[in-house]
Amino acid sequence: MNNPPLVSLIIITMNHEKFIEQACVSAISQDYPNYEIILLDNASKDNTFENAEKTLSKFGKPYKMIRNTESFGVAKNINIAVSQASGKYVSLLSGDDWLTENHLSEKVAYIEEKKVDFILSDGYKYYQSEDKTIDAYTPKEKKQVIDSLDHFFHENVSENKTANVGTFVRKDLLVQYPFDENINTEDWDMNLRLTSKGYKIGFIDKKLFYYRILSTSLSRNWKVMKDSYEKVTSKYLDYIKADKELYKKYRLNLIHFKYEILLSETESEPEKNKLQTEWKKEKYRIKYKNPVLFFKLLMIK
């Protein structure tokens, strides 16, 4: 590629001293010829910053280190880092995840050829406690994502169906539409915001990232996720309510959060069984209008 565009690879990290070296090594090992690295440490209380600086010092190209003196949410940290970025494109990486060596080269080639505005890709999930790696998507899930790209907003407005590791986006869009700092699922919110405004999303059917899942991952915190879900969907609630299927999915998701929170707050097996039964009944009430099926609902014990 002649005159390859500059990419700003942004790493957001906090208390990742055990993982940050792997993330940084994957960043400095990219086979793409023209990129900078910007690492923002969100007031870590361990040696994350020192470990990152030691690794990035081996990078033979420009890089920046930002160290917060107080802790902020992920969205605000990304906005801070983007303000320091010089690239045409921004690639985002969490300090506990890592990228394949061809991550940037594949994404630049795709976005330049397809003329889309931002990109997602296939990848892997790594379960830290089990030392197990699996595909980020099942074949069915991936096909659904790829098939829905032209109507991505509609398919994802009531629930996030994508793995957003290694999000790759035009920097000017992040300047014009910064991440919402009041939301924890900032990546899903950004996907919806851009596609709702007509910007095009692409998907590379190649495994270009590793998403590390920890027991403390945000996806395990049901109260936080419920709050974030309601904040994101509230922006598009009129659209959701106007479509029966979307509204049904929305209500089912709220019930899901409700009972996951309740289940997480009890250790009593009888109480858990009772909650599971109540959950099942509420799902039936929303999913089925057929009297026979409703009778089946009443028979659940």
User: Residue 294: its pLDDT value, please?
Assistant: 56
CATH number at residue 159: 3.90.550.10
On whether both 162 and 275 belong to a single domain, the answer is: no
On whether both 266 and 286 belong to a single domain, the answer is: yes
User: Residue 166: its pLDDT value, please?
Assistant: 85
**Alpha carbons 92 and 50: distance in angstroms, whole number:** 20
Whether 191 and 183 have beta carbons less than 8 Å apart is answered as no
- Residue 137 counted as domain residue: yes
Whether 201 and 152 have beta carbons less than 8 Å apart is answered as yes
On whether both 162 and 116 belong to a single domain, the answer is: yes
User: Residue 285: its pLDDT value, please?
Assistant: 87
On whether both 162 and 282 belong to a single domain, the answer is: no
User: Residue 224: its pLDDT value, please?
Assistant: 87
On whether both 53 and 177 belong to a single domain, the answer is: yes
On whether both 91 and 140 belong to a single domain, the answer is: yes
Amino acid letter for position 51: N
Q: Which domain holds residue 228?
A: 221-298
User: Residue 215: its pLDDT value, please?
Assistant: 72
Give every CB contact of residue 286 below 8 A, 6+ residues apart in sequence: 248, 251, 252, 255
Give every CB contact of residue 79 below 8 A, 6+ residues apart in sequence: 174, 178, 179, 181
Q: How many domains does the chain have?
A: 2
On whether both 235 and 168 belong to a single domain, the answer is: no
On whether both 115 and 60 belong to a single domain, the answer is: yes
Give the chain's residues under pLDDT 50: none
Choose one of 199, 218, 237: the last residue of a domain.
Answer: 218
Give every CB contact of residue 278 below 8 A, 6+ residues apart in sequence: 259
On whether both 210 and 72 belong to a single domain, the answer is: yes
User: Residue 295: its pLDDT value, please?
Assistant: 52
On whether both 228 and 269 belong to a single domain, the answer is: yes
On whether both 171 and 116 belong to a single domain, the answer is: yes
On whether both 30 and 103 belong to a single domain, the answer is: yes
User: Residue 90: its pLDDT value, please?
Assistant: 98
Whether 291 and 284 have beta carbons less than 8 Å apart is answered as no
- Residue 231 counted as domain residue: yes
Whether 99 and 72 have beta carbons less than 8 Å apart is answered as no
Closest CA to 57 of 26, 100, 98, 28: 28
